Amino acid sequence: MAWTPVNDSQIPRWSTGGSLGQFVGSVFGFAGDRPLNARVRPNSKLIDVCYRTTVNGDDITLAIADLGIGANANTMTIGGSYEIE
């Protein structure tokens, strides 16, 4: 899916951390920490995949070492919403 990154000025007030949050619905085949959520970076086409060590802890960006190996490793479902202008 082609998409245009959001600019900082377009981020709604309800967004936190300067990015637009997405949720991770299911994950499979990760070797370390499992993804919990994802954040689209403003002014970029990058998505940070994050986990937490505790339920009320801060988001931590997933590390390369957390990736599994194999044919079906590192699969996840990311959900969210977008706005068409």
Run of H or E including 24 = strand 20-28
Domain positions in the chain: 18-79
pTM above 0.85, yes or no: no
Q: What DSSP designation does 42 have?
A: T
Q: What is the DSSP string of 52-74?
A: -SSTTS--EEPPGGG---STT-S
pLDDT value, residue 4: 55
Least confident of 6-10, 54-58, 59-63: 6-10
pLDDT band at 13 (very low <50, low <70, confident <90, very high): very low
Average pLDDT of the chain to the nearest whole number: 75
User: Mind listing the pLDDT tens digit for each residue in 32-51?
Assistant: 888 888 887 777 778 888 88
